[in-house]
A and B are shown apart, each in its own frame.
Chain A
């Protein structure tokens, strides 16, 4: 399930990005941010009796990547994603979607963008109780005025896609939580959005169902290749799904990176705390364990980007180090069985963090 290669992140211009984004709750927040010119300390906010739900957030999300926003409850994830989709009005900063300033879009333009380019999945599903499954899925098309036969056909395809065929005429309350969220997913995909927001979509589900839904999401993404902004408070989930992760704390983004970068180079103790119990073999790749090549003989070769877990059994069984090769087939270093055993035994942490 771990992804073999992080997608090329910086090749094109970002699909969605924000710069110095703030959302401050409380009376006089706009005035306050204007006075402070988009930079206020926690003390300033506290003194003005304001809540800084999102503070100086900057990020870029690229075409086709799964970008995860991770943080504990109350850290501002939902607020951030609602600012990015302009469900709530940011207090300060810029949001750029597809190269245009989202905050300047008029109400009508915003409606158009949402109708055709954005989809969102909600933690508590947000299904309409008075509509059947198929009517729910077809709803975003219905408000666009797509004719009935066409939208029902599309809805049926989406229901197929999430494996809910046969439940079209059920009402949401007749379905289990996992099934309801499948409906939520199908509904958000009905308009073929370019960017897909998922706000803790699996947090309300049982652990087993959650696993299943994560696998389902990965399967869908293989096919659909959407640009995804996925929110979670579960670091394991983040690791499993992410191309890149942004970690939030008290409204601020404290680090953005691939899972491997977070594990190998945590920016703060707070991030390190999260990464401590992660199964490293599944996160780290050969290149982060390798040393310069020195041995005369190698027991085998591994790709630099291969996760340790993928070759651990062979190397542990071998006496010799394995050669690490890059995409062009050149040897760039070697990796010893001992390094892998240490990693599996959890003896490496001090080294790696140093």
Chain B
């Protein structure tokens, strides 16, 4: 409150004249850079002053590793139990031996699983969802990806409940203790959600080695934060009257939480579950680098060998799996309570779909003992698109190689490379001071200090050049994504027909795991910055479109009518009424675009970018925790700086418009 008041008066003081304000800002920036060049070490951070955070962290992690082997070992052993059960059920047969006697327990039949998934779809969302889910799994079976897909699914099936329960408990803690929430949970979540995925892998790899359990733990770390957030948000959103009612009914604390608050927050919680599932899938794919196996590994191996066909096939199966899981969990989130007009007592009557699904799985699995076609998908009915993709790429290369190459080279030589050189030459002190000034203008002194500290971290760890390289690629990709996405969002907002086309496309794009964007880009443009740029733009464009559309559409009808009554043309209405009101929402979209771009750019280290992501990637291959985490933190800090500045900017604009 007092902060807002202070900043408001401060903003009106030196800004009597807009031109004067711009001149002042420019002058200060020039001064900052001048200062950076004048002060020794202000341009290039002196090597002998680098603070060895990386060494400290490595030393610490090695100490943890050697002192807590018993803990890590037992953790692996515990987590391994459900994991092996899931593997046995879904992926591999299991040999049960008691003394002399032994029997091979067959894995569940693929026919039964397809049927069960379809029935699940039916239970959650009716016939159409049943069709989508059943056909999706059938696709995976027929296109020869069943075994890998089931390995991936097994990891998800074990990981998601762990994440959901952990997230729920931490979220409840945060709800009950605002201090813990403010001091511990929220900062930790912010950091965890901006640290790049790769960086999670390194400490886990160091502590637990290369195996599916490691992959599971890394995935869990990555996928839990949204559940915590959804829980806190959901519980806070429960109407205060319902909370009062719980007290008046004489609930104990425990009854209040579990019988009133959690059920009342269920819709929010289920959205959290949906996010956990999607992030788990995303991360399980990436975790194939530390031994997760499954579809991700297929893609990884194929990409490393530049085998277009297999990479594309496995990648498409990931997409299909993602879409099916997404739609199923979304349907579960909005599921309406069925009316129970009369009490049904038998299990069968209450859960017909569940009973049928269980029956289908059991029966087909029993059949599979006798008939191999039920045990694994028979070769005769499978299809492969591998050669087709290869032919397509060959054909494109044959006919369009020159054109594609011309575009790529032009971009690289005239835009990307000069831009990179420019960014890498920026003096660190100048950038830090400029960012601090931006923090001060948009927010408060505190923001300025936070921003300056975070930015300085990138310099004092000796990662300045890599930081600037990341910023250059991320900036370029975000700029292009915004430049394409905002106009598309505007069109969608103005024409319902456009919106109808755009919405399913961006919904699908949003569902696709990051890894899969790289495959087609690599097929066409091979590796390098330009490929990374294309993949990143495709991945990061979604929020720019979505928020623009949403922001424009939620302009209050009264404002539109006021505009029309004052005689605005359609065009004037758009530019003078709707757009200004929608700007805060659009800025939030850009914020999301930047964060997504950042996370994608880092993954693109796989295809040869040279930036902070590459540092993490190298650290991963050497299991160098310190280097990896420091580079990971530097990346996280870039994200946090962008996020804080834009959020402050949005808040300021909203305050100005009186809609804070």
- Which A residues have a C-beta under 8 Å from some C-beta of B? 82, 85, 87, 111-116, 118-120, 122-126, 128-132, 139-140, 142-144, 169-171, 174, 188, 191, 197
- Closest residue on chain A to residue B259 by CB atoms: A143
- B340 touching A122 by the CB < 8 A rule? no
| CB within 8 Å for A169 and B340 given contacts A126-B241, A126-B244, A128-B263 | yes
- A169 touching B341 by the CB < 8 A rule? yes
B411 proximal to A (CB < 8 A): no
Chain B residues, Cβ within 8 Å of A139: 249, 259
Number of A-B contacts (CB under 8 A): 70
B266 proximal to A (CB < 8 A): yes
Given A130-B266, A140-B249, 20 more contacts at CB 8 Å? A85-B248, A87-B248, A111-B250, A113-B250, A114-B247, A114-B248, A114-B249, A118-B248, A120-B245, A122-B245, A124-B241, A126-B244, A128-B264, A129-B264, A132-B340, A140-B250, A143-B252, A143-B255, A143-B259, A197-B248
B64 proximal to A (CB < 8 A): no
- B239 touching A174 by the CB < 8 A rule? no
A14 → chain B closest CB, angstroms: 21
Question: Closest 7 interchain pairs by CB?
Answer: A115-B250, A126-B241, A114-B250, A140-B249, A126-B245, A120-B248, A122-B241
B454 proximal to A (CB < 8 A): no
B191 proximal to A (CB < 8 A): no
User: Could you name 19 residue pairs across A and B whose Cβ atoms are closer than 8 Å?
Assistant: A111-B250, A114-B247, A115-B249, A120-B245, A124-B241, A128-B242, A128-B260, A130-B264, A130-B266, A131-B263, A143-B249, A143-B250, A169-B340, A169-B341, A169-B342, A171-B339, A174-B339, A191-B250, A197-B248
- A87 touching B260 by the CB < 8 A rule? no
Chain B positions 17-35 with a Cβ under 8 Å from a chain A Cβ: none
> In the complex, A111→B266 CA distance in Å?
26
Chain A residues, Cβ within 8 Å of B242: 126, 128
- Closest residue on chain B to residue A171 by CB atoms: B337
- A87 touching B339 by the CB < 8 A rule? no
| CB within 8 Å for A130 and B245 given contacts A111-B252, A115-B250, A124-B239 | no
A158 → chain B closest CB, angstroms: 14
Chain B residues, Cβ within 8 Å of A130: 263-264, 266, 337
- Which B residues have a C-beta under 8 Å from some C-beta of A? 239, 241-242, 244-245, 247-252, 255, 259-260, 263-264, 266, 337, 339-342
Chain B residues, Cβ within 8 Å of A169: 339-342
> In the complex, A304→B224 CA distance in Å?
73
- Closest residue on chain A to residue B267 by CB atoms: A129
> In the complex, A144→B264 CA distance in Å?
20
- B250 touching A170 by the CB < 8 A rule? no
- Closest residue on chain B to residue A114 by CB atoms: B250
> In the complex, A85→B250 CA distance in Å?
12
Chain B residues, Cβ within 8 Å of A170: 339
Chain A residues, Cβ within 8 Å of B247: 87, 114
> In the complex, A298→B247 CA distance in Å?
59
Chain B residues, Cβ within 8 Å of A87: 244, 247-248
Chain A residues, Cβ within 8 Å of B244: 82, 87, 120, 122, 126
> In the complex, A123→B251 CA distance in Å?
20
Chain B residues, Cβ within 8 Å of A111: 250-252
Chain A residues, Cβ within 8 Å of B249: 114-115, 139-140, 143
- A144 touching B263 by the CB < 8 A rule? no
B63 → chain A closest CB, angstroms: 43
- B264 touching A123 by the CB < 8 A rule? no
Chain B residues, Cβ within 8 Å of A142: 259
B235 → chain A closest CB, angstroms: 14
- A144 touching B250 by the CB < 8 A rule? yes
- B248 touching A143 by the CB < 8 A rule? no
> In the complex, A125→B342 CA distance in Å?
25
- A123 touching B241 by the CB < 8 A rule? yes
> In the complex, A142→B249 CA distance in Å?
10
A164 → chain B closest CB, angstroms: 15
B459 → chain A closest CB, angstroms: 39
B4 → chain A closest CB, angstroms: 15
Chain B residues, Cβ within 8 Å of A123: 241
- B248 touching A119 by the CB < 8 A rule? yes
A177 → chain B closest CB, angstroms: 14
Chain B residues, Cβ within 8 Å of A120: 244-245, 248
Chain B residues, Cβ within 8 Å of A144: 250
A7 → chain B closest CB, angstroms: 25
Chain A residues, Cβ within 8 Å of B241: 122-126
> In the complex, A129→B260 CA distance in Å?
10
- B239 touching A126 by the CB < 8 A rule? yes
Chain A residues, Cβ within 8 Å of B239: 124, 126
Chain B residues, Cβ within 8 Å of A197: 248
Chain A residues, Cβ within 8 Å of B251: 111, 143
A196 → chain B closest CB, angstroms: 11
Chain A residues, Cβ within 8 Å of B266: 130
> In the complex, A112→B250 CA distance in Å?
7
